[in-house]
Amino acid sequence: MTALLGLDLRGRRVVIAGGGATATRRVRRFLAEGARVRIVAPEASDDLRGHAAHGDLEWVARRVEEADLDDAWLVLAATDDSAVNAEVAAWAEARRVFCIDSSDASRGSARQAATSRHGDLLVGVVSTDSPDPRRIRAVRDAVAAHIDAGEVDLRRRRPGEGRVILVGSGPGDPGLITVRGRQALSEADVVVTDRLGATELLVAVPYDVEVINVGKSPDNHPVPQDQINRILVSHARAGRTVVRLKGGDPFVLGRGGEEVHACLEAGVPVEVVPGVTSALSVPARVGIPVTQRGVSTSVLVTSGHAGAAPAAVAAMAHGTTVVVLMGVKALPDIVAAGLAGGADPATPVAIIESGTTADERVTRGNLHDIVLIAAETGVKPPAIIVVGDVARPDLLASEIAATPEH
């Protein structure tokens, strides 16, 4: 019978005998877990040599010797010679050090599980019969996909310390949330959500999870920021896992920094899960690259609710791509400031409403006429405004046509 244990290898010595494909594949796991890795082998793969050159691990360029195991907590016998691997396993057995024998797992005292990480949970699969790596990886991948799809309730069953997880849900399409973001939703006792972002994800949240809507619109702020901060802290202090579900990325014009500060000041553990920011993803979704070689090599992202920032005005005048969030209401002021600051009236502008959702719509014009066009077409928030040559409707088509064939 094989017992599945979790080993804490942080700062502990792992010795790997062998420098070939098996050692190369498995060393990544040990390095990710913070182990102090020593490779003992006359030759090593380019990947292992690179790790050694960067100081990630120690490479001893010779055949493995019994004394190499003296300070080891775990040994991997991964040479090309099964007899040598068996000898290494015997040395480890004599020292009461667990050993994985890559030639024959039945000769070793340990087996390495195929694992997947899901927040603070690690799921591992091992075989108790003859080793079959492809089989256990297939099971691992199927279980991981089920968990990461939000199909498993990951809420804690025992009382514990409360915490806050700030999750960027992306621009609106629920498929654009990160894997960690979806995992966090499965861990939530409470979800504090915005009006924007991938709110469709809340459909899959269990009925007994408390959902608190604190969303704002341009002219309606029913829950002020200081009250949102208090909601997060109070629920976490009550021992709950609180997911703060925010549109886009929490730290891109999303007041995520203020919420993290409030949690830390209150002594509440907080995790930040970055999201796909609408500033870059929404233009990309409609074929607008915010940077393009030969067109624009820099981009400025700004909030437009207070009008045109001086940096944005200067950027428009110098041909830098300017991406404006929350700027629909202030569009006339932004355009006027840009023109007064020296921007070319013919500079292309694209406005993408409700990006990545079923209601997505793109309105195009130039600086000299976009205000009139937006008024005539009834542009409404939420919308992303892109100012610059990258917003030309024919940009990608012309760039592709200009690329020489090889």
Give residues with Cβ within 8 angstroms of 324, minimum separation 6: 302, 303, 304, 312, 334, 384, 385, 386, 387
CA pair distance 358, 377, nearest whole angstrom: 18
Query: Which tokens is 168 given?
Result: 């960027």
210 - beta bridge partners?
190
Angle, nearest 10°, between helix axes 310-317 and 331-340?
A: 60
C-beta of residue 41 within 8 angstroms of C-beta of residue 23: yes
- Catalytic residues, by residue number, are 194, 216
For residues 114 and 137, give the distance between their C-alpha atoms in angstroms, rounded to a whole number.
Answer: 6
In contact, 124 and 114? CB cutoff 8 Å: yes
Beta strands in 82-213 (DSSP E): 98-101, 114-118, 121-125, 163-168, 190-193, 210-213
User: CA–CA distance from 147 to each of 140, 141, 158, 174, 288 (Å)?
Assistant: 11, 10, 20, 16, 34
Tokens of 177: 């949330």
CA distance 404 to 209: 56
